[in-house]
Structure 1
């Protein structure tokens, strides 16, 4: 091992940036800490404006050749990266669990296989990307997707590698070069991804990884005139700063932001299913942007729903995420834990009642919590907590349910439990959300559009929508005459 390598459960991880096909160290570092037990994992190179500029320069230099690479070769390299991910699923799983505290069993069985699928899906979609030619007064219209240029991708800590590759894969498939900036609380698997991509044969400069604090290098990346696309997943305040930073260059943005999603439970629903859906919202210690944290229950079944919910929530096993028996692990950081606890304490002081939880556990664990007696205009109902905290409100009519569901500044997702198909159709049509699940939750297909409405985001990615964002669409109109016969 070298001074720039740390070891996580036997897996070596380089702590330096990956720029232009080389490892680059910074003069200063930041400390990476595991949320599981607070142990220090190592010191990570702390990027400055200089490293940000170098990464963009490397992406710009690599862009012409990568953009000109035939689509079949681009697709082959993306499949090779997927092969590399699959060979290292165990390494990636244990490193990410240690770094962000999510369940090891989920990383092994679902998340890391999904990382590989991200690359395979967009590689295959690239090969089928086309729009049928059409005629205008005898002229032929041909639509094409041209690579846009260097892309800055800024990703969150709650599902670091999966959400990074959800952006990296389509950007690379589109023919763009990439500067990936992972969250400073979870930088390790992005470094491993750089190794995997290099081993797969991805040319130098096509993928670059710069680590550090967004407050220190974010503006240098997002305001750079050579950056042609910015995709960000994170908070609304940070998104506003990025938008201002990108404005001078009119750099196109894709923003996937926060949520305060509702779960509507009607009296005609399968109540056991509805309870299962509600308890599922504690997944990943509540650190899921799509989570339906506002449970809205028809008044006639609210008491029975609450009783069953409390019973099921009591069976949740919270603890070390490396243990197969654990259902939810720790929250990511002491700062986040204080934020969660502050939300709950203020809600309790304002008259809310904790049916379940309502307090911190040991270390960086927060007890799964359900609060009732909350007002619609209260902070706990209106603002994203991003922890294992749910609220429960009741309604008496369909109109009231829809009003409560839509009455926040967010619009990322919504979940609906009902046994009436006609009601499902009526209600889903009226909900403001980028994704609506009916009698299910978190069923996602990469070919579907994904994004949020209102303050939950700008734009959609997934399938062709990803290529629409990462490319410059061009329509070529060809006249039927004016040709010379060179035969």
Structure 2
């Protein structure tokens, strides 16, 4: 950690980060602060301005004032500015990577190789898309009919700590491209890269008030934002209980919602699969210490290969190098906070108490201390038990076996979630049959975590509301309008109404 040089500035991994809010193109301090702690060693790294209703009001007012002129800009001009934002992200990718690693404990090598390039792409992709957004013209009984995408207004965007910058820009990019203005609330457990993003947007020429950042806790800053009558769209990524609270707060304002919530996704492995691929996909679920909503943490394997498969996964997982995420050879790091570690361990200990057996891990990594939790694999869990139905959000896999295809599908669909599913099989016909029956917004067949940004993304059931990506994002962040033109004025149009 680096010490703060002023009350509003922290130096983190050699990068200066302003810890005040970003409202109407200016830095705004609050009377109170909260401490940002790095999960790597549980040391404080910054004092962050703690926003509340006053800061939310100011940010929403700024966004509403900036909206008319930003919305009126031609799409090509908005796209040009957003491409400059993308260029700024790319130019500072190394700084963003180092800061986010220190802030939330995710692997530095992952940020360098994949996450930060995707952050820039989130702006560049939607800048390109809005310029080519289809505005179809049609004809009905001699009349011209046109569909257009009108900016909705102010978008509130609340994002989580497991991939704070990537998941924020996945929403901020299309919201701004569509002509909306934005008030973002970053996660209190990892707020720093949102502040750096504000600097980048200003350097790129984004007008004051178009993008605003209010920091703070969910109770103090998130609650007034979700209930604010000046909000026209609300996007949230997080837990099911918090989503329920947000929906209740937003309901009186009739605000359209986009929720990406939890998952309890299955990895279904048939005996005819590519064995090494299936083992690799299972071990891959320990990525980001299991703090991934899309992770396939329920391994369902055909019983004829169950023992061989389990042995191979355990052997491969034993080779995972756990440690400081800033080191290039580290494969798995820490959990986000002490409270979250205790939550994850609570799931594991209750499962073991109910009869499940840990064939790998099963508790904190005492050799490393702090917030490091061992890669854990549990077997023999009781069907329908908590460990098989509730999201743990940690490095905990369960392994179950099935006999028939129908049983595999039934087990895969046996939770209230429906975010994703992964299927491994060597039979193309089975791949078609089973994938069509899986209850999930995304199904991967013989692969994992591959998706074009233009494809729809979202979950079924308790995994969320709505879809985003490509045109689906613009469907949400705009008011879609249909206009019908009479061919020769009012009288000609009168008879066709």
SS in 1 for 2:106: coil
Give 1:170's match in structure 2, choosing from 157, 174, 178: 174
The equivalent of 1:359 in structure 2 is 363
The equivalent of 1:451 in structure 2 is 458
Note the C-alpha offset of 1:222.
1.1
Note the C-alpha offset of 1:2.
2.8
Note the C-alpha offset of 1:3.
2.2
Question: In 2, distance between residues paired with 1:312 and 1:17?
Answer: 45
Question: In 2, distance between residues paired with 1:324 and 1:219?
Answer: 39
Whether 1:245 and 2:249 are equivalent positions in the alignment is: yes
The equivalent of 1:142 in structure 2 is 146
The equivalent of 1:35 in structure 2 is 39
How high is the TM-score relative to the length of structure 1?
Answer: 0.98
Note the C-alpha offset of 1:483.
7.3
Question: In 1, distance between residues paired with 2:397 and 2:488?
Answer: 66
Whether 1:384 and 2:391 are equivalent positions in the alignment is: yes
C-alpha root-mean-square deviation of aligned residues, in Å? 0.9
State the number of aligned residues.
484
Question: In 1, distance between residues paired with 2:373 and 2:196?
Answer: 30
SS in 1 for 2:160: coil
Whether 1:235 and 2:239 are equivalent positions in the alignment is: yes
Question: In 1, distance between residues paired with 2:224 and 2:66?
Answer: 19
Give 1:214's match in structure 2, choosing from 205, 211, 218: 218
Question: In 1, distance between residues paired with 2:449 and 2:357?
Answer: 28
The equivalent of 1:67 in structure 2 is 71
Whether 1:260 and 2:267 are equivalent positions in the alignment is: no
Give 1:428's match in structure 2, choosing from 427, 432, 435: 435
What runs of 5+ residues in structure 2 fail to find an aligned partner? Answer: 492-497
The equivalent of 2:312 in structure 1 is 308
The equivalent of 2:340 in structure 1 is 336
Taking the TM superposition and a 5 Å limit, the aligned residue runs for 1:103-122 are 103-122=107-126
Note the C-alpha offset of 1:9.
1.2
SS in 1 for 2:131: helix
The equivalent of 2:426 in structure 1 is 419
Note the C-alpha offset of 1:217.
1.9
The equivalent of 1:133 in structure 2 is 137
Taking the TM superposition and a 5 Å limit, the aligned residue runs for 1:404-415 are 404-415=411-422
Note the C-alpha offset of 1:6.
0.3
Question: In 1, distance between residues paired with 2:435 and 2:218?
Answer: 37
- Whether the 8 Å CA contact 2:355–2:382 is kept in 1: the answer is no
Question: In 1, distance between residues paired with 2:29 and 2:358?
Answer: 48
Note the C-alpha offset of 1:132.
2.4
What do the CA deviations read for 1:284-337 (whole angstroms, capped 9, x no partner)?
Answer: 000000000100000000011001101100110000000000001111101100
Question: In 2, distance between residues paired with 1:425 and 1:277?
Answer: 20
- After TM superposition, the runs of 4+ consecutive aligned structure 1 residues lying more than 4 A away are none
Note the C-alpha offset of 1:445.
1.3
Taking the TM superposition and a 5 Å limit, the aligned residue runs for 1:83-98 are 83-98=87-102
Taking the TM superposition and a 5 Å limit, the aligned residue runs for 1:458-473 are 458-473=465-480
What do the CA deviations read for 1:122-148 (whole angstroms, capped 9, x no partner)?
Answer: 000000001321111121110000000
SS in 1 for 2:462: helix
- Whether the 8 Å CA contact 2:7–2:47 is kept in 1: the answer is no
SS in 2 for 1:442: coil
SS in 2 for 1:141: strand
SS in 2 for 1:364: coil
Question: In 1, distance between residues paired with 2:223 and 2:345?
Answer: 31
How high is the TM-score relative to the length of structure 2?
Answer: 0.97
